[in-house]
């Protein structure tokens, strides 16, 4: 990995590929840039892709600091400035989704569009109470056991057990002095309302099997929000079902940034876009089928969790196998 230094703190990152529309991938809590490996490989064929290890994570240094969402976003803004990156598609998984949203709101020149993948946004009071208890346990002597137990609950039965073991082992490498404040700051202390309201670029949310966001409230603050849901995957959908996530991301970019018509990797077989005048703000993205019979579904919805059936289907394009 490449490294840049900010105030004597090393930030590790990958900068691969080339193209007119850059992508910036932002990993989640106690993860690292490798959690986006399938997306980095896929999109770097026709785009410039930047994927950093956040401060305290992966190969980046882990100094004593607060590890807040605004701090993480400020680090990425600095990195983008150093690398000459502007108007990127910001893609964040879990905590990374909130960081991407913060970055888009506070540094609008850096963002062309934002996609959150299974991030906790506007959680319920009951969920917050559970997170409070978990935060206290993470701060105790059983840190590793608590982290792996909590992260293990984010998988579903059909997720690959070998991959699950690898993911949990990687997450456990994050130091407690990083994980605990980062957990509390992004799940308990961070209010996404202000930045969501300030965000003016296209926004997508890709949910997994168990919805972790109040999409109704999100859409009230961001009328341009479009939503999607993967099938057959827990929280780490970017690793479990990368073909679905990649197709949804590509479809989102295609309807949101019409100048980026795509290349051979386009999710739409015929390379077409939505007809002029389509109300993209109410579009719901989804993937159906598997193998050579995969479809990207574009439906008009309210921003609520998309249905798993075909009713309401407005447009259907067969995807490349």
Count of C-beta atoms within a 10 Å radius of residue 165: 12
d(Cα 102, Cα 190) in Å, to the nearest integer? 10
E strand or H helix at 14:
strand 9-16
- Computed on alpha carbons and rounded to an integer, the radius of gyration of the chain in Å comes to 18
Give the domain ranges of the chain.
2-265
According to DSSP, residue 5 is labeled: E
**Secondary structure of residue 161 in the 3-state scheme:** helix
Q: Closest Cα to residue 314, out of 290, 292, 296? A: 296
The predicted-structure confidence for 238-271, as pLDDT tens digits, reads as follows: 999 999 999 999 999 999 997 654 443 333 323 3
Q: Return the residue matching tokens 């795509």.
A: 262
Q: What is the structure's pLDDT at 260?
A: 54
Largest distance between two CA atoms of the chain: 58
d(Cα 274, Cα 254) in Å, to the nearest integer? 8
Q: What is the structure's pLDDT at 258?
A: 73
The predicted-structure confidence for 109-132, as pLDDT tens digits, reads as follows: 999 999 999 999 999 999 999 999
According to DSSP, residue 291 is labeled: G
| Parts of the chain with a pLDDT under 70 | 259-321
Edge to edge, what strands does the sheet with 295-300 contain? 2-6, 9-16, 49-52, 23-26, 88-93, 111-117, 203-207, 225-229, 283-288, 295-300, 313-318
**281-70-117-146 Cα dihedral, nearest 10 degrees:** -150
Chosen CATH of 2-265 out of 3.40.50.720, 3.40.50.1820, 3.40.50.2300, 3.40.30.10:
3.40.50.1820
d(Cα 43, Cα 17) in Å, to the nearest integer? 8
Q: What is the structure's pLDDT at 153?
A: 96
Q: Are 99 and 92 in contact (CB under 8 A)?
A: yes
Q: Are 306 and 289 in contact (CB under 8 A)?
A: no
d(Cα 230, Cα 88) in Å, to the nearest integer? 24
Q: Return the residue matching tokens 């990152």.
A: 13
Supply the pTM of this predicted model.
Answer: 0.83
């Amino acid at each position: 990995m490449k490294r840049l230094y900010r105030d004597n703190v090393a930030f590790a990152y990958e900068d691969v590929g080339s193209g007119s529309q850059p992508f910036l991938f932002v990993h989640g809590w106690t993860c690292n840039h490798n959690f986006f490996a399938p997306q980095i490989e896929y999109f770097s064929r026709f785009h410039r892709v930047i994927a950093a290890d956040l401060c305290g994570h992966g190969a980046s240094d882990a100094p004593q600091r607060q590890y807040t969402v605004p701090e993480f976003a400020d680090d990425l803004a600095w990195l983008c400035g150093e690398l000459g990156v502007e108007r990127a598609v910001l893609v964040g998984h879990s905590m990374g989704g909130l960081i991407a949203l913060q970055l888009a709101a506070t540094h609008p020149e850096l963002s062309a569009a934002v996609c959150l993948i299974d991030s906790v946004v506007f959680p319920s009071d009951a969920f917050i109470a559970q997170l409070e208890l978990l935060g206290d346990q993470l701060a105790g002597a059983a840190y590793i056991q608590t982290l792996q137990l909590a992260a293990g609950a984010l998988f579903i039965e059909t997720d690959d057990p070998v991959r699950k073991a690898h993911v949990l082992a990687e997450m456990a490498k994050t130091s407690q002095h990083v994980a605990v404040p980062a957990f509390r700051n992004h799940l308990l202390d961070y209010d996404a309302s202000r930045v969501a309201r300030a965000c003016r670029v296209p926004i997508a949310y890709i949910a997994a099997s168990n919805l972790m966001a109040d999409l109704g409230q999100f859409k009230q603050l961001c009328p341009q929000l479009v939503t999607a849901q993967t099938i057959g995957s827990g929280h780490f959908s970017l690793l479990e079902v990368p073909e679905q996530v990649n197709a949804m991301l590509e479809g989102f970019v295609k309807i949101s940034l019409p100048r980026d018509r795509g290349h051979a990797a386009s999710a739409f077989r015929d390379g077409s876009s939505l007809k002029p005048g389509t109300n993209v703000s109410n579009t719901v993205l989804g993937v159906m089928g598997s193998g050579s019979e995969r479809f990207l579904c574009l439906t008009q919805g309210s921003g609520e969790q998309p249905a798993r059936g075909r009713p309401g289907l407005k447009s259907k394009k067969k995807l490349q196998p």
